[in-house]
């Protein structure tokens, strides 16, 4: 068999729509016989019906064979895992032979064998007769089975090669996972239909035959090609109104759900149903930690529900058409979809785009074939509002071939492709990872011109979207709020799609979740496949919670005694929401009341609110918008938006307790001051209110985040030696308290920090610490953190704090963290990033109280005014050295970090680093803390 052919397939039937038909169908999923060979050149006698496969293994269909003990997965991002020499493929070519017998029901005749997805090159035999071959892993293919079916027992044989010429077209950033990974059916349906339904009620359809009825709209027996106008409610992702339609044909009846909606572009603005559309999107790969891209239906549904619950309104099916059921779910629950063709040739970029299939006419048929199969399959989905030609496939004449055919076939949807910035073949201007500054320039229409004035003029009239931005790898992404602000400000900006939805961590017995290299791949891209908003088990990461906040459909502004409520939906009003307010004093509710908000939003008067005269404590008003009634995607009470405001300036502090005229007392080499005991020589704290405490020491380092590493900051920090600070005690001064002067510096540099730790005690059993830090020398660039580190006994198990929570927050993340009183165990303070890194920092903490099992002395630390809190059962060095979650093992101390500041997060793994305002530049600074017994 010629695996190096440019042809996309042979013996295949014309592509058609995915439809639900009453025509008989046989589900051929289930256990098949399976044999894996290391090379392609194996006898194909197994296709004979009488072949004895009793010694073969069994493998489920749909599935990927490397996830069932045959061979191993491999991960590369841009690189091809074989030499770039198209159309040639390596001799080592894992080849899976599949067999299954099935019984044909009595009276059955004719039919099509339909494969929804086979990765990557499939040859198909029925009863020993070769039906043909197919490529295009994430696209359906049908073969005419009719002539070869026989009554009773039939034998289906499929040979799947991992590599073929078509592999050059499938270089997406994901695991290489061969196998029959989507459903297989024998169906007697042959119907095809293309329904056109626009938001103004115009309705028509194309089909070779049949009559269309929509009983709910009084439409009966509409003929193909006839346009009528009906009074239908439009479909939007916010209001996904669908109408059940029936297409009656001589041999079958097809049921489909019609949504009336229109996509258009006017004056450079993307419109849906005539109104501006703002895409609050994510990029979704198909992924399941056990099943790879063979995603169970319930998991697809969970994805859509999770997206809806986190205020996501759009999804780009990066980088291939998803399982057809996913689009049904988007129609039903409401998401705008950019449907992307199964095409990526990114690895040619590494060889200067020489011999890129996108620009080689010999590949034109294969590329067009992929586009046709996507468009034909998915053309009836109201959720699909744009066709994407593919991802990262460079520039070339075959793009025009794909685009021209698509415009002709479906003029109703704009075309998207990011890889050609001239936009010669698209209707929208799309980019990935453009900086805030560049997005702003584009929003204003002030982008750099293209060389070709005609193309430039065309592009200037296009809406702009970021098909990828805010790379959600590890801790982050930072900068979300600033992007959203731009998207909302400039009408030309149609929003974008965060990269990406899920961490592709494969379940692994030792590592918990595997990434590139964990299967011994000689070439791989490590944890670049772990860059999602949800962890592999779909637990939302802090990044998704922040995104939910940034994507809120309701915005609030506080004025003098009033609250302005702004409707940020594109299509619906606020009638389905309920608004609740609560006032908290130091995190404890003191008043709660509902707010009446008109459906259009607007200004509402607030009642007189606490604090009453003279009440102590910080008072905050929190307003929340929740679902008033159940929605198909979330129950009543589900929170969609919130805001907070401080109510009155915090009450004046309680009268100062008197400073104890405390000269520390000297006892056996220790200095005792209030509740603290110190080493007399080094001035270090040894015991705090009876608790064995070690520290505090100035700390400037953090276990690098992915963004710190890929953006190059960590290299600078390691270069400076921030991981190996030395602490030289220059003086321990007693007097009215204790002052310890230390120069903190790494070896081999004259840079350092001069630190003075000053301890005083007051009559209320408080131990005060002031840490004055002064940089010594000219520090280049930002540092990761500025704070102190202490260790506590391992018995310390939980913390209650008043500050922002419950989740982590860094200078440019943590929009989801609100001021309140929170409690967590030390273990629960950790954010379990699949690739361990800095995490779990709680921001703007006013005070935190630590405790353990009864009998453990606890203590409280308060900031003046606030500090950043991190506590974990391993050190920064251990966290930095860990490569997988199970590498982190609890030690016998709790490491407590009390920070004055941290460097921002940014998204330098792919895209811009931290915005300058979130950089932490060394400067003189003071951290003030008060310790009291709990």
What is the set of active-site residues? 392, 468
Whole-angstrom distance, CA of residue 852 vs CA of residue 287: 40
Residue closer to ligand IPT by CB (options 349, 793) is 349
Rounded least distance, CB 172 to ligand IPT, Å: 6
Q: CB neighbours (10 Å) of residue 598?
A: 13
User: Rounded to an integer, what distance in angstroms lies between the CA atom of residue 56 and that of residue 97?
Assistant: 10
Q: Which residue shows structure tokens 């492709």? A: 417
- Torsion on CA atoms 826, 827, 833, 836, rounded to nearest 10: 80
Site of tokens 């060389």? 451
CA pair distance 473, 706, nearest whole angstrom:
7
Q: Does the protein bind ligand IPT through residue 392 (CB under 6 A)? A: yes
Q: Which is nearer to ligand IPT, 173 or 812 (CB)?
A: 173
Tell me phi and psi for residue 487, to 5 degrees: -60, -35
Q: Give the closest residue to 101 by CA, choosing from 55, 47, 62.
A: 47
Least separation in angstroms between residue 530's CB and ligand IPT is 10
Helices H / strands E in the chain, number of each = 11, 59
- Residue 280 CB, shortest distance to ligand IPT, in Å, is 19
80 binds ligand IPT (CB under 6 A): no
Residue of 910, 920, 927, 929 interacting with ligand IPT (CB under 6 A): 910
CB 301 within 8 A of CB 331: no
Of the pair 177, 824, the CB lying nearest ligand IPT is at 177
851/825 Cα distance (integer angstroms): 10
Residue 181 or residue 501: which is nearer to ligand IPT going by CB?
501
Binder to ligand IPT among 56, 405, 433, 519 (CB under 6 A)?
A: 433
- Cβ 344 to ligand IPT shortest distance, Å: 7
**Which is nearer to ligand IPT, 311 or 391 (by Cβ)?**
391
With CA atoms as reference, report the closest residue to 172 among 282, 351, 337, 319. 319
The answer to the question of residue 468 lying near ligand IPT (CB under 6 A) is yes
Min dist. Cβ of residue 479 to ligand IPT (A): 16
Comparing CA positions, the residue from 10, 386, 350, 335 lying closest to residue 166 is 10
Contact between 391 and ligand IPT per CB under 6 A: yes
**Residue 342 near ligand IPT by CB under 6 A:** no
Q: What are phi and psi of 351, to 5 degrees?
A: -120, 35
Q: What is the x/- site pattern for ligand IPT, positions 287-326, by CB under 6 A?
A: --------------------------------x-------
How many other CB atoms are there within 10 angstroms of residue 78's CB atom?
16
Cis peptide before 907 (omega within 30 of 0): no
Is the Cβ of residue 471 or residue 842 nearer to ligand IPT in the bound state?
A: 471
Is there binding between residue 790 and ligand IPT (CB under 6 A)?
no
Tokens 């099916």, residue?
Answer: 317
- DSSP conformational letter for 89: -
Quick check: 432 binds ligand IPT (CB under 6 A)? yes
Is residue 869 at the binding interface for ligand IPT, with CB under 6 A as the rule?
A: no
Alpha-carbon gap, residue 758 to 741, rounded angstroms: 9
Q: Which is nearer to ligand IPT, 321 or 696 (CB)?
A: 321
- Note whether 204 binds ligand IPT by CB under 6 A: no
Tokens representing 152 are 């009773």
389 sits near ligand IPT (criterion: CB under 6 A): no
- The answer to the question of residue 193 lying near ligand IPT (CB under 6 A) is no
- Give the count of alpha carbons within 13 A of 260, CB side only: 19
Closest CB to ligand IPT: residue number: 173
The two structure tokens encoding residue 892: 């016998």
User: CA torsion angle for 81, 86, 92, 94 (degrees, to 10)?
Assistant: 80
Closest distance of CB 428 from ligand IPT, Å: 16
Binding mask 475-504 for ligand IPT (x = CB under 6 A): ------------------------x-----
Q: How many residues touch ligand IPT (CB under 6 A)?
A: 13
Q: Which member of 5, 21, 77, 204 binds ligand IPT (CB under 6 A)?
A: 77
Least separation in angstroms between CB 912 and ligand IPT: 12
Angstrom distance (rounded) from CA 265 to CA 276: 9
Question: Judged by CB under 6 A, which of 171, 531, 844, 899 binds ligand IPT?
Answer: 531
Q: Residue 584 — φ and ψ, nearest 5°?
A: -120, 140
Q: Which is nearer to ligand IPT, 531 or 714 (CB)?
A: 531
CB of 676 to ligand IPT, least distance (A): 49
Q: Is 173 in the site for ligand IPT (CB under 6 A)?
A: yes
In the complex, the smallest distance separating the C-beta of residue 293 from ligand IPT, rounded to whole angstroms, is 14
Minimum CB distance to ligand IPT smaller for 388 or for 831: 388
- Is 348 a residue that touches ligand IPT (CB under 6 A)? no
Q: How far apart are CA 430 and CA 464, in angstroms?
A: 6
Instruction: Determine if 170 is a binding residue for ligand IPT (CB under 6 A).
Output: no
Q: Which is nearer to ligand IPT, 382 or 906 (CB)?
A: 906
Q: 30-39 and 57-61 as β-strands: parallel, antiparallel, unpaired?
A: antiparallel
Tokens 């608790």 appear where? 691
Minimum separation from the CB atom of position 347 to ligand IPT (A): 11
Rounded-to-integer distance, Cα 241 and Cα 216, Å:
12
- Does residue 338 bind ligand IPT (CB under 6 A)? no
Task: Tell me which residues touch ligand IPT (CB under 6 A).
Answer: 77, 173, 319, 391-392, 432-433, 468, 471, 499, 528, 531, 910
């Amino acid at each position: 068999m010629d695996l190096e052919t440019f042809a996309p397939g042979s013996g295949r039937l014309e592509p058609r729509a995915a439809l639900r038909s009453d025509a008989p169908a046989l589900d051929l999923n289930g256990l098949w016989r399976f044999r894996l060979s290391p090379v392609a050149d194996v006898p194909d006698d197994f296709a004979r019906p009488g072949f004895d496969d009793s010694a073969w293994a069994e493998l489920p269909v749909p599935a990927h064979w490397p996830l069932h003990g045959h061979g191993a997965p491999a991960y590369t991002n841009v690189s091809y895992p074989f030499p770039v020499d198209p159309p040639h493929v390596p001799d080592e070519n894992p080849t899976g032979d599949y067999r299954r017998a099935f019984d044909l029901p009595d009276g059955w005749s004719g039919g099509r064998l339909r494969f929804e997805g086979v990765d990557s090159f499939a040859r198909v035999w029925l009863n020993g007769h070769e039906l043909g071959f197919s490529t295009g892993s994430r696209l359906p293919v049908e073969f005419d089975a009719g002539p070869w079916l026989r009554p009773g027992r039939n034998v289906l044989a499929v040979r799947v090669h991992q590599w073929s010429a078509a592999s050059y077209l499938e270089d997406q950033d994901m695991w290489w996972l061969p196998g029959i990974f989507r459903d297989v059916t024998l169906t007697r349906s042959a119907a095809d239909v293309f329904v056109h339904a626009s938001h103004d009620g115009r309705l028509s359809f194309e089909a070779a035959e049949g009559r269309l009825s929509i009983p709910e709209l009084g439409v009966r027996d509409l003929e193909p090609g006839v346009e009528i106008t009906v009074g239908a409610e439009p479909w939007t992702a916010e209001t996904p109104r669908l109408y059940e339609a029936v297409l009656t044909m001589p041999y079958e009846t097809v049921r489909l759900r019609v949504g009336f909606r229109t996509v258009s572009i006017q004056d450079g603005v993307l419109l849906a149903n005539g109104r501006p559309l703002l895409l609050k999107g994510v990029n979704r790969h198909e992924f399941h930690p056990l099943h790879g891209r063979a995603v169970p239906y319930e998991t697809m549904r969970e994805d859509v529900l999770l997206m809806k619950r986190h205020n996501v309104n759009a999804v780009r099916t990066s980088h291939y058409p998803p399982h057809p059921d996913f689009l049904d779910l988007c129609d039903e629950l409401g998401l705008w979809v950019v449907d992307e063709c199964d095409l990526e040739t990114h690895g040619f970029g590494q060889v200067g785009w020489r011999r890129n299939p996108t620009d080689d006419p010999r590949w034109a048929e294969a590329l067009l074939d992929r586009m046709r199969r996507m468009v034909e399959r998915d053309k009836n989905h109201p959720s699909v509002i744009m066709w994407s030609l593919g991802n990262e496939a460079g520039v070339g004449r075959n793009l025009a071939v794909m685009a021209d055919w698509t415009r002709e076939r479906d003029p109703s949807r704009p075309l998207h492709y990011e890889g050609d910035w001239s936009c010669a073949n698209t209707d929208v201007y799309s980019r990935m990872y453009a900086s805030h500054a560049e997005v702003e320039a584009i929003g204003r229409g002030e982008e750099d011109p293209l060389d070709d004035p005609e193309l430039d003029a065309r592009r200037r009239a296009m809406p702009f979207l970021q098909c990828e931005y805010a790379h959600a790898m590890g801790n982050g992404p930072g900068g979300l709020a600033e992007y959203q602000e731009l998207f909302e400000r400039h009408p030309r900006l149609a929003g974008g799609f965060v990269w990406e939805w899920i961490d592709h961590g494969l379940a692994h017995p030792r590592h918990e979740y595997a990434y590139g290299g964990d299967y011994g791949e000689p070439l791989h891209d490590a944890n670049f496949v772990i860059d999602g908003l949800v962890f592999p088990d779909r637990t939302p990461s802090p990044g998704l919670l922040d995104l939910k906040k940034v994507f809120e459909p309701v915005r609030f502004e506080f004025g003098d005694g009033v609250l302005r409520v702004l409707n940020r939906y594109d299509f619906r009003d606020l009638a389905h929401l309920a608004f609740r307010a609560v006032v908290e004093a130091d995190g404890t509710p003191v008043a709660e009341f509902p707010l009446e908000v008109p459906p259009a939003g607007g200004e509402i008067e607030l009642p007189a609110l606490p604090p009453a005269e003279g009440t102590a404590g910080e008072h905050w008003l929190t307003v929340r918008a929740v679902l008033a009634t159940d929605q198909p995607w979330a129950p009543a009470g589900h929170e969609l938006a919130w805001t907070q405001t401080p109510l009155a300036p915090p009450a004046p502090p309680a009268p100062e307790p008197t400073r104890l005229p405390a000269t520390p007392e000297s006892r056996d080499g220790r200095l005792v001051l209030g509740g603290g005991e110190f080493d007399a020589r080094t001035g270090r704290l040894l015991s705090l209110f009876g608790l064995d405490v070690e520290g505090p020491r100035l700390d400037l380092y953090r276990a690098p985040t992915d963004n710190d590493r890929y953006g190059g900051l960590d290299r600078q920090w390691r270069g400076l030696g921030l991981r190996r600070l030395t602490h030289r005690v220059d003086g321990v001064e007693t007097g009215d308290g204790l002052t310890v002067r230390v120069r903190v510096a790494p070896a081999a540099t004259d840079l350092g920090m001069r630190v003075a730790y000053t301890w005083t005690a007051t009559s209320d059993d408080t131990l005060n610490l002031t840490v004055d830090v002064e940089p010594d020398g000219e520090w280049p660039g930002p540092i990761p953190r500025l704070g102190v580190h202490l260790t506590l006994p391992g018995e310390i198990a939980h913390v209650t704090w008043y500050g922002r929570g419950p989740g982590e927050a860094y200078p440019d993340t943590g929009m989801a963290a609100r001021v309140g009183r929170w409690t967590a165990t030390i273990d629960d303070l950790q954010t379990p990033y699949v690739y361990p890194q800095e995490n779990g920092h709680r921001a703007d903490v006013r005070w935190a109280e630590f405790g353990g099992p009864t009998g453990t002395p606890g203590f409280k630390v308060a900031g003046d005014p606030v500090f950043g809190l991190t506590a974990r059962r391993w050190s920064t060095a251990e966290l930095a050295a860990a490569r997988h979650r199970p590498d982190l093992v609890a030690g016998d101390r709790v490491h407590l970090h009390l920070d004055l500041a941290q460097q921002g997060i940014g998204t330098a793994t792919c895209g811009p680093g931290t915005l300058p305002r979130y950089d932490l530049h060394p400067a003189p600074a003071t951290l003030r803390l008060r310790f009291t017994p709990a």
